[in-house]
Structure 1
Amino acid sequence: MKILIVEDDKRIAHNIQKFLKGQNYVVDIAADLSEGNTYLESSEYELVILDWMLPDGVGVELCEELRKKGNSVPILMLTAKSQIEDKLEGFDCGADDYMTKPFDMNELLARIRAVIRRKSQDTGSPVLSAGNLKVNINTCEVSRGNKDIMLSPKEYAILEYLILNKCKVLSRMEIIEHVWGDEIDPFSNTVDVHINYLRTKVDSEWKKKLILTVKNRGYMICDN
Structure 2
Amino acid sequence: MKILVIEDDASTGAYIAEGLREEGHSVDLIANGADGLVQATIGTYDVMVVDRMLPGLDGMSLVKTLRATKNATPVLFLTSLGGVDDRIEGLQAGGDDYLVKPFVFGELSARIAAIGRRPRTQGDPTSLKAADLEMDLLHRKVTRAGQVIDLLPREFALLEHLMRRKGRVQTRTMLMEAVWDIHYDPLTNVVDTHISRLRGKVDKPFATELIETVRGSGYRIREG
- Give the direction of change, closer, same or farther, for the CA distance of 1:15–1:135 in structure 2 (3 Å limit): farther
Structure 1 unaligned blocks of 5 or more: none
Query: What amino acid is the match of 1:101?
Result: K
Task: Name the stretch that deviates more: 172-181 or 33-42.
Answer: 172-181
What secondary structure is seen at the aligned counterpart in 2 of 1:24?
A: coil
Write the mapping of 1:94-173 to structure 2, written as runs, cut at 5 A.
94-120=94-120, 126-144=126-144, 146=147, 148-151=149-152, 153=154, 155-173=155-173
8 Å Cα contact 2:130/2:223 also seen in 1: yes
Structure 2 unaligned blocks of 5 or more: none
Task: Name the stretch that deviates more: 15-24 or 177-186.
Answer: 177-186
What secondary structure is seen at the aligned counterpart in 1 of 2:120?
A: helix
Question: Normalised by the size of structure 1, how large is the TM-score?
Answer: 0.81
Task: Name the stretch that deviates more: 114-123 or 180-189.
Answer: 180-189
Q: Could you give the per-residue CA deviations for residues 56-114 of structure 1, whole angstroms, max 9, x where no partner exists?
A: 34211211121223322221111111112111221222112212122233332332222
8 Å Cα contact 1:4/1:28 also seen in 2: yes
Task: Name the stretch that deviates more: 141-150 or 206-215.
Answer: 141-150
Moved over 6 A (4+): none
Shift of 1:127: 4.5
Task: Name the stretch that deviates more: 57-66 or 115-124.
Answer: 115-124
Question: Normalised by the size of structure 2, how large is the TM-score?
Answer: 0.81
Which whole-Å CA distance do the structure 2 matches of 1:105 and 1:49 have between them? 13
Which whole-Å CA distance do the structure 1 matches of 2:187 and 2:65 have between them? 35
Task: Name the stretch that deviates more: 35-44 or 86-95.
Answer: 35-44
What secondary structure is seen at the aligned counterpart in 2 of 1:67?
A: helix
- Give the direction of change, closer, same or farther, for the CA distance of 1:42–1:189 in structure 2 (3 Å limit): farther
Query: What amino acid is the match of 1:195?
Result: I
Shift of 1:48: 0.8
Which whole-Å CA distance do the structure 1 matches of 2:202 and 2:10 have between them? 37
Aligned residues: 223
8 Å Cα contact 1:24/1:156 also seen in 2: no
Q: Could you give the per-residue CA deviations for residues 145-178 of structure 1, whole angstroms, max 9, x where no partner exists?
A: 545433352x332211112233444344543442
Equivalent residue, structure 2, for 1:66: 66
Which whole-Å CA distance do the structure 2 matches of 1:181 and 1:43 have between them? 13
Task: Name the stretch that deviates more: 102-111 or 188-197.
Answer: 188-197
Shift of 1:213: 2.5
Which whole-Å CA distance do the structure 2 matches of 1:48 and 1:196 have between them? 31
What secondary structure is seen at the aligned counterpart in 2 of 1:120?
A: coil
Which whole-Å CA distance do the structure 1 matches of 2:41 and 2:187 have between them? 23
Which whole-Å CA distance do the structure 2 matches of 1:141 and 1:19 have between them? 23
- Give the direction of change, closer, same or farther, for the CA distance of 1:137–1:14 in structure 2 (3 Å limit): farther
Percentage of matched positions with identical amino acids: 37
Shift of 1:185: 4.1
Query: What amino acid is the match of 1:96?
Result: D
Shift of 1:202: 2.5
8 Å Cα contact 1:149/1:202 also seen in 2: no
Equivalent residue, structure 2, for 1:3: 3
Query: What amino acid is the match of 1:162?
Result: L
Query: What amino acid is the match of 2:162?
Result: L
* RMSD between superposed Cα atoms in Å: 2.9
What secondary structure is seen at the aligned counterpart in 1 of 2:60?
A: helix
What secondary structure is seen at the aligned counterpart in 1 of 2:45?
A: coil
Which whole-Å CA distance do the structure 1 matches of 2:119 and 2:16 have between them? 22
